[in-house]
Copies of this chain bind each other. A is one copy, B any other.
Amino acid sequence: MVMTERAIRCRDEVAAAIAAGAPVVALESTIVSHGLPRPENLTVARRIEQVVREHGAVPATIGMIGGTLVVGLDDAELTHLATAEGVTKLSVRDLAVAAAARADGATTVASTSAVAARLGITVFATGGLGGVHRDAQQTYDESADLTTLGQTPITVVCAGVKSILDVGATLERLETLGVSVVGYGTRRFPGFYLTDGGFDLDWSASSPAELAAIMAARRAQDLHRAALVVANPLPESEQLDPALHDEVLTEGLAGLERDNVVGKAVTPYLLAHFHERTQGASLAVNVEIILRNAALAAQIATAYHTAAGPSPA
């Protein structure tokens, strides 16, 4: 028990909310350390938490400080991950190695989900999921987010997956892995920057209460070991211009070949290309997405925890 205390530290406010069965929303820190440029990243990280509070839930941004997993980073810790050099991106498989190295680290969709579920947090807000890479038929490059979501019973609010991935293959993997996917107000899977990512969904929900009812059914059935993904599209008025998106994507994919970019360099290359070529519009859309997802996640957590009453520890 002493070891566990040291391995994972939960901020008092978050621990109290979990214990009381009150709504909590987990948040990842990779978007803070790696996903957004400085210094906006810290401002946005604080706004995300504020949005969660405004919608009635306690925010719990998760990260690693000096080898300790912290659930509910305080402002000094958030600032540290937003500004320090050498913050490592940590998937689930990295958590213990990083802990032994007393590292500072940011948690991905996979590791945030795993840590949150382990502590009994039921809802998690992020931007987009990792997925199957476009060349995965040859490279086998598939994000551990998918496998982890296939093993982690938590509700994840996102805006689909970025079009730089193989969206169709990602949806197939989610199906194969038993991850439930429900569109929020839509039967089309959102494409992150785009309202419509080009693929149909089997299920849709139109309110936080409906999603809370699904979560209650999951708990009652006790058959779901995988995540529930809530796919929350941007309204069309706020998406990236689809014509611009397609042009920039085509250019970016061509650039990969021209500049011989492969492996882990692909995603940062394409995102930087989007950022430059859209003159920051892709970044603004990215921020909008995460704020909207944080709001919806808080609403879902509130609906679920109000309806369900305090959850058993």
Contacts and interface: CB of A to CB of B under 8 A. Distances in A.
Nearest to A2: B220
Interface size class on chain A is 35 or more
Contacts of A218: 96
Given A8-B221, A99-B221, A150 B147 contact: yes
Nearest to A211: B100
Interface string A208-248: 00100111111111111110100000000000000000000
Interface string A72-93: 0000000000000000000111
Given A97-B180, A217-B99, A139 B172 contact: yes
A304 to B, nearest CB: 12
Given A176-B140, A176-B147, A118 B223 contact: yes
Nearest to A171: B140
Please state the number of chain copies in the assembly: 3
Contact of A214 (B3, B100, B210, B219): B100
Given A140-B132, A168-B139, A202 B4 contact: no
A253 interface: no
B96 A140 contact: no
- SS of A interface (majority): helix
Contacts of A214: 96-97, 99-100
A112 to B, nearest CB: 11
Nearest to A202: B94
A299 to B, nearest CB: 16
A8 B219 CA distance: 12
Contact of A224 (B93, B146, B169): B93
A142 B140 CA distance: 12
Contact of A3 (B92, B150, B151, B220): B220
B99 A6 contact: no
Contacts of A8: 221
Contacts of A118: 222-223
A156 to B, nearest CB: 13
A13 interface: no
A91 B221 contact: no
Contacts of A147: 150, 176-178
B4 A144 contact: no
A147 B147 CA distance: 11
A251 interface: no
A70 to B, nearest CB: 12
A182 B215 CA distance: 38
6 contacts: A3-B216, A67-B217, A95-B224, A139-B169, A140-B168, A140-B172
**Smallest CB-CB A-B distances: 5 pairs:** A7-B220, A3-B220, A140-B172, A96-B217, A99-B217
